[in-house]
Structure 1
Amino acid sequence: MEEIWYQSKTAPTKYALLAGDGCHPDEADALQKYLECEYGVQEAAKKITEPILSEANPKESFYRLWALLCDALVELSDEECQKTIELLLAIQHLPSTEYFEWKELPGFGNMWHDLYQMHLDGPCTWEKENLTDERREELRRHFRRIGGVEAQLCLRGIGDIPLSWGFDVVNLVAQNRNGLDVLLSEVEVWLEVAGEELKGEVGKQSDEVRWYTRRVAQSAGGKQQSVGAALEEHWVVWKERLMEMMEDGSGLSDEGRKLAARCYDRM
C-alpha cells in the first residue's frame, strides 16, 4: 500500500491524537512494516500495541488501534487483509496485563460495528442516488469485503463477532431497501464463508423468539415492521424473498438477480 494510506490514518499532531483524529504514528509504522514483511507477525503484534501500553489509561486508547486495523481489513488488498487478520490473532495471544486481557480485543467488535455495520440500521445516502454500473460494482466489492471479513472474524473467534450478525445481514433481503442490488453481495459472502454455521444454528430448532425487521407485503410507502419468530421461520421467509428477487420484474439488475440466486442456493 502506498505511503499516503498510512499517512491518512495517522494523527498529524499530538493534539489530533488526543482528540481521536487518527492513530499513533508508531502504530501505523508497525502495521506498514509488518505488511511490507519487515516484521514478523509476533514482533508486529508487540510493536503495534506498545503505544497503547505506554498510555496512562490504555483502555481509553484502544479505539485508535482498532480503527486503524478495521480500515486495513476493508481498504487494503486481499493479501494485506488476510495478514491483518493474522495480526489480530497474534495480538489476542499477547500476555495479559494488570488491567485487561488482549485475547478479548476489548472494544474491537464495537469499533467494527460503528465503522462498518451502520448500513444495517437503515438506508445509506448512496441508496438514493442513480448509480452508474461502475459505482454499483464498486459498492458491491466494498460490501462483499465487509461481509467476508466479518464472517471470517466470527468463525476464527476474533473480536467477539457473534454469528447473529450473519443473520442480521441475511435479513437485509426481507427489507424495503433500494440498495439490495448492491447489498446482496454482502449476504452472499456471509453465506459463502459461514453458511454451514448459520444453517447449523437454524437446524437447532430452538423455540427462542428472534426479532427482525421485515417489509409488509403489498403495503404502500415501503412500510416495515418488527416480527418475532423462531429462527427457522425467519429462514423460510428469507428464502421465499430471495426466490421473488430472482424473477424478472423484481426490480433488480441481471447481476442482482444472479446474486439472489447464488444466495438462495447457499441456503
Structure 2
Amino acid sequence: MLDAWFSNKLAPDGDVKDGCHPDEAEALKKYLRHEITAEEAAHAISRPIENSSNPGEDLPRLWDLLIDALLELPLDNTKRLITLIQTIENLPEPDMTAVEEGKRPAHGKLWRGLPGFGHLYADIHQSTDWREEALEAEATERRRLREYHIRKAKIEAQLVAEGLAGIPIDWGYETVTDALERKDALLDVEIPAAAEWLSIAGARFWE
C-alpha cells in the first residue's frame, strides 16, 4: 500500500507537475519504514524547500504531502507523522537573504509555527456541508464519511494537544457542543468524534 500511495503523490492522476518533490517522498517513505530518524527525515524532507528559488510557493506542496499522510495512511503511522511535523517545526531557519522578498514564505519563516499548514488543512478538510453529504450518501459512502470524520477529529485533537500547525482548539469545542446540542447532529458520527477530542485533548479543554 505504501508504494502505491507514494506513487500517487509523486504523480497525481499521472501528472508529475502536480506531485510532491521526489526527495520529499523518499524521505517520508524511509522514515515511515523506520530506516531513518525523525531528525534525518526532517532535514531530508525540508531540503527541496530550503534550496528552492521560490520557497513560499513550494512550501504548501510539502504541507499537502504531510496532511494527506495524516488522513490517508494507516493509523499506526500517526504518532511518527506527528513527531516528524514537530521536528520540522524545530528545524533551524535557513538564510533566505538571497531569495526575492516576494518569494519568501509568510512572516519570513519557513519552519517556526509551520506557516500555512493550518490554513491549507482547513481549506481541504473543514467542510460546512458534510452532514448533508452523509445524509444523502449510500451505505458504503456513509461508512467512509463516518470513518473519515472520526479520524479527522483524532488527527486534529493530536495536533492541538501538541500545539502544532495552528489548528485551533475551537474546532474541538465545536465538535463536542455540536454533538450535544445540534438538533440535526448525526450521533453515530459526532459522538465518536467528540469522544476523540475529549480523550486526546481533554486536558487542554480543562486548562
Which category of TM-score, normalised to the shorter sequence, fits these structures? 0.7 to 0.9
Contact 2:31 2:41 in 1 (8 A): yes
Within the candidate set 74, 78, 81, 2:78 is matched to 81
Give 1:57 deviation, angstroms: 1.6
Residue 131 to residue 52, structure 1, CA distance change in 2 (3 Å) = same
Task: Report the Cα distance in structure 2 between the residues aligned to 1:149 and 1:141, rounded to whole angstroms.
Answer: 12
Q: Which residue of 1 aligns with 2:57?
A: 60
Tell me if 1:127 matches 2:124: no
Report which of the two has the higher share of strand.
1
Contact 1:143 1:186 in 2 (8 A): yes
Within the candidate set 137, 142, 159, 2:165 is matched to 159
Report which of the two has the higher share of helix.
2
CA-atom RMSD in angstroms: 2.3
Amino acid at match of 2:196: V
Task: Report the Cα distance in structure 2 between the residues aligned to 1:158 and 1:101, rounded to whole angstroms.
Answer: 14
Listed as ranges, the gaps of 5+ residues in structure 2 are 96-107
Contact 1:92 1:102 in 2 (8 A): yes
Task: Report the Cα distance in structure 2 between the residues aligned to 1:159 and 1:41, rounded to whole angstroms.
Answer: 17
Give 1:94 deviation, angstroms: 0.6
Residue 187 to residue 53, structure 1, CA distance change in 2 (3 Å) = same
Of 4-13 and 188-197, deviating more is: 4-13
Q: Which residue of 2 aligns with 1:114?
A: 123
Q: Which residue of 1 aligns with 2:193?
A: 186
Of 96-105 and 141-150, deviating more is: 96-105
Give 1:38 deviation, angstroms: 1.7
Can you list the C-alpha shifts for 1:6-33, whole angstroms capped at 9, x where unaligned? 01111469x853xxx2211221111111
Higher relative contact order (CA 8 A, sep 6+): 2
Larger Rg belongs to: 1
Amino acid at match of 1:105: L
Can you list the C-alpha shifts for 1:134-192, whole angstroms capped at 9, x where unaligned? 55444333222211111111111111222112112223323354644323322221111
Residue 64 to residue 6, structure 1, CA distance change in 2 (3 Å) = same
Task: Report the Cα distance in structure 1 between the residues aligned to 2:69 and 2:135, rounded to whole angstroms.
Answer: 28
Q: Which residue of 2 aligns with 1:206?
A: none
Contact 1:9 1:23 in 2 (8 A): yes
Q: Which residue of 1 aligns with 2:68?
A: 71
Residue 178 to residue 197, structure 1, CA distance change in 2 (3 Å) = closer
Q: Which residue of 1 aligns with 2:100?
A: none
Q: Which residue of 2 aligns with 1:47?
A: 44
Q: Which residue of 1 aligns with 2:89?
A: 92
Give 1:79 deviation, angstroms: 2.0
